[in-house]
Structure 1
Amino acid sequence: MKEYLIKAYAKVNLGLDVVRRLPNGYHQVKMVMQSVGICDELILEKLESGIVLTADSREVPLDGTNLIHRAARLMQKEYGIGEGVRIHLRKNIPVAAGMAGGSTDAAAAMRGMNQLFGLNVPVERLMELGVAIGADVPYCILGGTALAEGIGEKLTALRPMPDCFILAAKPEISVSTKYVYEHLDAEGIAHHPDIHGMVEAIGEGNLPGILERMENVLEAVTVPTWPVVGMLKDRMLALGAERSLMSGSGPTVFGIFTGKEKAEAACEQLRKENLAKQVFLTVPVGAPQV
């Protein structure tokens, strides 16, 4: 195989709880993650040597700081790959959006190199390696619906989320994940999301049970600091969403719809307004097959 194309799917957090701040500065979390149909594409091609990264977006760094580059270098080193690789990124997932765009690209690079070079590395081993790139990378390798614990690297695959429509909107601001976690009073959280109950509802295929437990404790920092996030949540509900939530540390907000027509009308209306720069209508997707 000389060339391989792989899709890198975005994620949203159906529930996000922070259990406590760890002595090393990281946070112990409990989250339900869900892949959605918004995706980047990576085209991998063998070279004689080195790593060459190109992209169709100017927002993406192309040097060794890019998580794709780091993931490719990790795979070369770990498996003694003597050949090089050229990776071209077609960017569709919003940058710095709370949708794991960089992490899912890194995950796709690892999975892509596994295929391109015929390594036959089990998914579980790729996930173990991926945590060295970032806490969300193991989940992005797994994909689908999953419970994430620890710093996000302890994963339990769950039954696929029931069918629904997801309207995602990213306002024209950037939110620093580091800033949000640094300003979160982890020990002072008065109410924690019912993640256990959500996992049970997912296991039962109970969409209303999932929706009523959708919460994100990071909103306590992001919404007061960037009010447009709260405005988008309210707008989603006004346009007919069953539930609306911020994804990750933001600023992307998503709403869950059960009917296609209502979701399409809400998407069209939101695109006419000025609250969000990028608006997507999508659906949940399952775990990748390779």
Structure 2
Amino acid sequence: MNDSRLMVKAPAKINLTLDVLAKRPDGYHEIEMVMTTIDLADRLTIETLEEDRIVLDCSVCYLPLDERNHVYQAAKLIKERFGIKKGVRVYIDKHIPIAAGLAGGSSDAAATIRGLNRLWNLEMSIEEMAELGSLIGSDVSFCVYGGTALARGRGEKIQPLPAPPPCWVILAKPPIGVSTGEVYGALQVGSLTEGCKSEQMIKEIQEGDFYGICRALGNHLESVTLQMHPQVLMIKDRMQRFGADGVLMSGSGPTVFALVERESRMQRIYNGLRGFCKEVHAVRMIGENNS
């Protein structure tokens, strides 16, 4: 491949925890969440253009290819910050479902930042790339690092963690989109009864305890989305009945994931869900970071 073109992988993430601590004066929420990357990924082909413009293309027809797209925003931000007069074309080979709680758009933006850093020899550190990513969206900083990490603030303060023990991750997304803003808007922060889980999750990851990780799963947004969308609760119940080791909704949903240690059980859960839900994936946890 020539030096004016490269391919970058953009893996999806799941939330092992999502603790909402408080509403911030800027309208965002103060959160702590442990996230990890999984082997379901978009693939981006990034190519330098002589003309000074940003061109996006995609394997699916329902994605906006203008300023609304996080990839476009990332390319524009880098061009402005570094005064770059060259253009760029990005082809997005899309595999991560959109509006699913899996950070597909954020991971694409992070892959664009990492890709252009290499392509244009910008020599940004991972911290600088993550800071740039935080200007685009709350999950972009984590996606720059990848792997497993605790994210704090509104998601932009990243503390890398060891990789959890390898396991299967089964994802099931009902045919609905969920607005993150709506879910946070409906959350009564003062009435959260379930305890915060991130501290316990970090301990279980550091000890490499798979079943401890399954017990420490928690998401403060889950009850809100389950109330709005009963299909999500049905998927969660089904995964638990089929014998998953741990089950949780990722982010603001609607995707639910199951953690499974044994391949035979993974196959049974995967097959059982396929007859009930059209969009089902069985993948491995990655857990290692990009640096």
TM-score by length of 2: 0.97
Does residue 78 of the first structure (1) align with residue 81 of the second (2)? yes
Cα pair 2:145 2:290 within 8 Å, conserved = no
Counterpart mapping for 1:178-257 below 5 A = 178-257=181-260
Equivalent of 1:105 in 101, 104, 108: 108
Cα pair 1:44 1:85 within 8 Å, conserved = yes
Per-residue deviation at 1:77?
Answer: 1.1
Equivalent of 1:133 in 114, 136, 152: 136
* Structure 2 residue identity aligned to 1:99: L
Alpha-carbon distance between aligned partners in 2 of 1:262 and 1:132, rounded to the nearest angstrom? 41
Per-residue deviation at 1:192?
Answer: 2.0
* Structure 2 residue identity aligned to 1:208: Y
Cα pair 2:53 2:86 within 8 Å, conserved = yes
Q: Secondary structure at the match of 2:95?
A: coil
Superimposed CA distance per residue, residues 141-175 of structure 1 (whole angstroms, 9 cap, x where no aligned partner) = 01111011110111110010111100001100111
Equivalent residue, structure 2, for 1:42 = 44
Equivalent residue, structure 1, for 2:16 = 14
Per-residue deviation at 1:107?
Answer: 0.4
Stretch moving more, 178-187 or 278-287: 278-287
Superimposed CA distance per residue, residues 103-154 of structure 1 (whole angstroms, 9 cap, x where no aligned partner) = 0000001111111112221111000111000011000001111011110111
Equivalent residue, structure 2, for 1:28 = 30
* Structure 2 residue identity aligned to 1:281: A
Stretch moving more, 7-16 or 259-268: 259-268
Per-residue deviation at 1:194?
Answer: 2.3
Q: Specify whether residues 288 and 205 from structure 1 end up closer, same or farther in structure 2 by C-alpha distance, changes over 3 A only.
A: closer
Alpha-carbon distance between aligned partners in 1 of 2:290 and 2:227, rounded to the nearest angstrom? 40
* Structure 1 residue identity aligned to 2:219: N
Cα pair 1:142 1:287 within 8 Å, conserved = no
Stretch moving more, 188-197 or 158-167: 188-197
Per-residue deviation at 1:23?
Answer: 1.6
Q: Specify whether residues 243 and 289 from structure 1 end up closer, same or farther in structure 2 by C-alpha distance, changes over 3 A only.
A: closer
Equivalent residue, structure 2, for 1:2 = 4
Runs of 4+ in 1 over 6 A off after TM superposition: none
Does residue 66 of the first structure (1) align with residue 77 of the second (2)? no
Cα pair 2:15 2:35 within 8 Å, conserved = yes
Per-residue deviation at 1:177?
Answer: 0.4
Cα pair 2:225 2:253 within 8 Å, conserved = yes
Q: Secondary structure at the match of 1:212?
A: helix
What is the CA RMSD across the aligned residues, in angstroms? 1.0
Q: Which runs of 5+ in 1 are unaligned?
A: none
Per-residue deviation at 1:288?
Answer: 4.5
Does residue 272 of the first structure (1) align with residue 289 of the second (2)? no
Alpha-carbon distance between aligned partners in 1 of 2:210 and 2:64, rounded to the nearest angstrom? 39
Q: Secondary structure at the match of 2:72?
A: helix
* Structure 2 residue identity aligned to 1:189: L
Cα pair 2:170 2:280 within 8 Å, conserved = yes
* Structure 2 residue identity aligned to 1:158: L
Alpha-carbon distance between aligned partners in 1 of 2:113 and 2:102, rounded to the nearest angstrom? 19
Cα pair 2:162 2:288 within 8 Å, conserved = no
Alpha-carbon distance between aligned partners in 2 of 1:26 and 1:213, rounded to the nearest angstrom? 25
Stretch moving more, 128-137 or 258-267: 258-267
Q: Which runs of 5+ in 2 are unaligned?
A: none
Cα pair 2:214 2:246 within 8 Å, conserved = yes
